[in-house]
Amino acid sequence: MKRRTFLTTLILFLACFYAGILVISTTTYRDTVRRAKEQCAGEHYFIVSGFVKDVAALHSRGVDYTQSLDGLMRPYGLLAKNQNASLMLYDDGQRVYSNMSGSGGHTLRELKDDNRLVYADKAENKTYMEVIGRLPEPYDRFIVVYRSDISAIISAWERMKNTLFASGLILSCFLALCLLFLLERLFRPLSEISRTSQRIASGNFRDTRLVVSGNDELTEMARSFNHMADEIQCQMAELTAAAQNRQLFIDNFAHELRTPLTAIYGYAEYIQKAVTTEDDRQFAIECILMESSRIQNMAGQLMELASLRSDQIHMKVLAVPELFNAVGRTMQPRAAEKEVCLRFLCELATLRGDANLLESLLINLIDNGIKACETEGKITVCAAMQEKNPVITVSDNGKGMPGELLDQITEPYYRIEKSRGRRDGGAGLGLAICKQIALQHGGELSFSSHPGKGTTATIIFTTP
Amino acid sequence: MANILIAEDESAINELIKRNLQLVGHRCVSVFDGECAVYELQGHSYDLVILDIMLPEIDGFDILRKSGETPTILLTARNSLNDRIKGFSLGADDYLTKPFEMLELLARVEAVLRRTKKDTDQFTLEAVRVDFDSRQVFLGGLLADLTPKEYELMEVLIVNRNIALSRDKLLELVWGYDFEGDSRTVDVHIQKLRKKLGWEKKIKTIYKLGYRLEVNP
């Protein structure tokens, strides 16, 4: 690209430049020749008019002027010599006078209709301007030839032309160098960009950015390039995170599935192969049933999560007290079982949403609260308006959790305890389902928690 | 007969392992979290620990660091190469992933115990005494004459005592995968073994399944 630009620009420039020089030199040449012509014609006219007067004077006195033509012409010949020209007189085609120096002969061109002919003539490496003119009547048998040597003028023009071309050559070289330098400067950001994009293509996103300086189009481009790189890096990070999440989900899912399967397989094998009593067999069968129902439970929740992600929900205007009553009926017995005090505070009359889903959301959150509570547990469910948005909060005074874990708890199968113990029950999908329900309602589910003090779950319905 | 500590937080699986190990005559202690496991290991001497990696309180790898010389079989649902390498580099003797088969668990336990137990290994059932180190079988004090295959079959039955073994499984364990005989071979050898050791009542034929050496635990 750089090379092509260089060559094109140089060729274009040189063509224009030399065309200019050519035009100038031709014009100058024509001008020079025209002026020489005029000058020669003027001289010729002057000589002819002088000579005619002389001849006319002799003729009027009755002298035979044909005999003294040579004498008559001599002063004019000297005059012409001074002008670096030679003078010739022809009488009826016969040369009667000539002061032409050198041995070179001269042939008279024929005059046709005109009385005067001016032309340039080359002979012996010299250029001559010749004026051939017939004398006016009655002396029209005479022809005066004025032959001026214009070689000096022509060579002066040639010198000028040569100087022009020589300086043109030097200028072209200079221009080529300047052009190279300029293009190098112009193309440097481009090669910088190509190097950077190669580095980015090879996967080095971090610290690979263009230097943004100045305030021209290239800076603008560098800025948008950097922006593009940022965006790509951002999206790559998102994709990687998504892939990691997916992998984590699969790993967790495999684990969740494997544990009950191990138990089911193991107990079945135990019944089949081992020496067992009736009690042993009953125990094994109970284990198999329990673990099977756990898998069934998990499958159900997975289905719920999947259908929540794909289905549109039916939003209706709901009475919040009714919703709370329904939730209370389900949860109060469970709360009482663990001696947890469950209270509902309702400052909100209505809410748009799907009754079943919201119920399931609240039940899940309260259930988590009950599990977190130990002695003297208190759970408060509160519905109110906050900054024009309906908000439902579920707060408990249970064991709480460290703040840095709050982002992860809504991931499917995430468990705070590494062992993934399930003594509290649940398949690990509860909060993932809650989050999905909140999203489907155009809301946001967030948590705040202090270890030892309790956890508060907040659902803000941002879209009415 | 060995003392085995089972550290596994899933009570169903813990119980399953315990029952299986008790069938072949081991004494088992169950713990359900890391702290108890460490406490047990410090207070008592065990021949083997079956250790789940993901335990509450203290995880399996940390317990492995603290368990010192006690032989350990790691048990986990995570089947990643990194975990296995980490486990072995911390001194685990074997590695078992869930889900596992009962026979595999028993075979691995037996293998580790045989490698690590220092005292002589013997098995006695009524008049029969088997010395595993010298591969000799005594019937009422007299050396019984068993062919190598008969001895191996007897060994498999003893190791998996109280557990039914199918004819195919016995073929695989005693004769190897590439043996091309049929299950009749097993029946013939079982008959010979019963006759030679007087185990007609001990080696039971299990309907539709195979054979089982029954020993009161």
What are A209-246's pLDDT values in tens digits? Answer: 777 777 777 788 888 888 888 888 889 889 998 898 88
**CA separation (Å) from B213 to A371, B19, B171?**
48, 17, 16
Kindly state the DSSP code that residue B98 receives in the 8-state scheme.
Answer: S
Inter-chain residue contact B209 with A417, CB threshold 8 Å: no
Say if residue A416's pLDDT is above 70: no
B166 and B179 Cβ atoms separated by less than 8 Å: no
A458 φψ region: left (φ > 0), alpha (ψ -120 to 50), beta (else): beta
Say how many CA atoms lie within 13 Å of A149 toward its Cβ.
17
Domain boundary (B116, B139, B154) is at: B116
Kindly state the DSSP code that residue B54 receives in the 8-state scheme.
Answer: S
A294 three-state secondary structure: helix
Q: Distance between CA A320 and CA A329 in Å, rounded?
A: 14
A406 and A447 Cβ atoms separated by less than 8 Å: yes
Inter-chain residue contact B101 with A291, CB threshold 8 Å: no
Residues in chain B, overall count? 217
Say if residue A424's pLDDT is above 60: no
A285 and A342 Cβ atoms separated by less than 8 Å: no
Q: Clarify whether residues B7 and B102 are in a common domain.
A: yes
Q: Clarify whether residues B130 and B202 are in a common domain.
A: yes
- Of A119, A75, A128, nearest to A99 by C-alpha is A75
- Break chain B down into helix, strand, coil percent, rounded to 5: 40, 25, 35
Say if residue A383's pLDDT is above 50: yes
CA B60, B65, B67, B71: dihedral to nearest 10 degrees? 80
pLDDT (average), residues B5-9: 89
Q: Clarify whether residues B127 and B206 are in a common domain.
A: yes
Give me the residue from A254, A270, A283 closest to B20, CB to CB.
A270
- What is the ipTM score, two decimals? 0.82
Say if residue B97's pLDDT is above 90: no
Domain count, chain B: 2
Lowest mean pLDDT among A118-132, B37-51, B182-196: A118-132
What angle (nearest 5°) sits at the alpha carbon of residue B177, between those of residues B172 and B180?
100
Domain boundary (B75, B101, B116) is at: B116
A416 three-state secondary structure: coil
Q: Clarify whether residues B102 and B51 are in a common domain.
A: yes
What are B109-165's pLDDT values in tens digits? Answer: 988 888 887 666 778 888 888 888 888 888 888 888 888 888 989 988 888 888 888
DSSP labels for A399-457?
----GGGTTTTTSTT--SSTT---TT---S-HHHHHHHHHHHTTEEEEEEEETTTEEEE
Give me the residue from A266, A272, A422 closest to B164, CB to CB.
A272
Give me the residue from A255, A266, A273 closest to B164, CB to CB.
A273
pLDDT at A420: 46
Q: Which amino acid is at B44?
A: H
Greatest Cα pair distance, chain B, in angstroms, is 54
B127–chain A nearest CA distance, Å: 22
Q: Which amino acid is at A81?
A: K
Chain A residue at shortest CA distance from B77: A255
Please provide the CATH number assigned to the domain covering A223-311: 1.10.287.130
Provide CB contacts within 8 A for A389, sequence distance 6+. A460, A461, A462
Kindly state the DSSP code that residue A111 receives in the 8-state scheme.
Answer: P
A280–chain B nearest CA distance, Å: 9
Domain with CATH 3.30.450.20 in chain A: 2-98+111-161
A86 and A100 Cβ atoms separated by less than 8 Å: yes
Residues in chain A, overall count? 464
A280 touches chain B (CB under 8 A): yes
A contacts of B165 (beta carbons < 8 Å): 273
Q: Distance between CA A256 and CA B72 in Å, rounded?
A: 24
Q: Clarify whether residues B31 and B65 are in a common domain.
A: yes
B107 touches chain A (CB under 8 A): no
Q: How many CB pairs under 8 A join A and B?
A: 82
Say if residue A7's pLDDT is above 60: yes
DSSP labels for B5-51?
EEE-S-HHHHHHHHHHHHHTT-EEEEE-SHHHHHHHHHHS--SEEEE
Q: Clarify whether residues B7 and B88 are in a common domain.
A: yes
Domain with CATH 3.30.565.10 in chain A: 312-461
DSSP labels for A44-80?
HHHHHHHHHHHHHHHHHTT--GGGGHHHHHHHHHHHH
Q: Clarify whether residues B145 and B190 are in a common domain.
A: yes
Supply the Cα-derived Rg of chain A in whole angstroms. Answer: 57
Q: Clarify whether residues B102 and B10 are in a common domain.
A: yes
A129 and A40 Cβ atoms separated by less than 8 Å: yes
Chain B residue at shortest CA distance from A425: B10
What are B13-67's pLDDT values in tens digits? Answer: 899 999 989 888 888 999 988 888 888 888 888 889 999 888 877 888 888 888 7
A416 touches chain B (CB under 8 A): no
A41 three-state secondary structure: helix
pLDDT (average), residues A330-344: 84
A281–chain B nearest CA distance, Å: 12
pLDDT at A277: 86
- How many of the other CB atoms lie within 10 Å of CB of B26? 20
Q: Which amino acid is at A155?
A: S
CATH assignment at residue B154: 1.10.10.10
What are B78-95's pLDDT values in tens digits? Answer: 777 888 888 888 888 888
pLDDT at A202: 83
- Of A21, A48, A213, nearest to A135 by C-alpha is A48
Q: Clarify whether residues B170 and B206 are in a common domain.
A: yes
A312-461: which CATH topology? Heat Shock Protein 90 (3.30.565)
pLDDT (average), residues A262-285: 89
CATH assignment at residue B56: 3.40.50.2300
A301 and B50 Cβ atoms separated by less than 8 Å: no
Q: Clarify whether residues B14 and B83 are in a common domain.
A: yes
Q: Clarify whether residues B132 and B57 are in a common domain.
A: no
Give me the residue from B9, B12, B77 closest to A258, CB to CB.
B77
Domain that includes residue B183, residue range: 122-213
Residue of A247, A248, A273 to mutate, testing the B interface (most B Cβ within 10 Å of its Cβ): A273
A51 and A74 Cβ atoms separated by less than 8 Å: no
What are A80-106's pLDDT values in tens digits? Answer: 888 888 888 888 878 888 887 654 566
A contacts of B56 (beta carbons < 8 Å): 417-419, 421
B135 and B129 Cβ atoms separated by less than 8 Å: no
Domain boundary (B116, B135, B165) is at: B116
- How many of the other CB atoms lie within 10 Å of CB of A130? 21
Please provide the CATH number assigned to the domain covering A2-98+111-161: 3.30.450.20
Q: Clarify whether residues B96 and B130 are in a common domain.
A: no
Q: Distance between CA A419 and CA B37 in Å, rounded?
A: 14
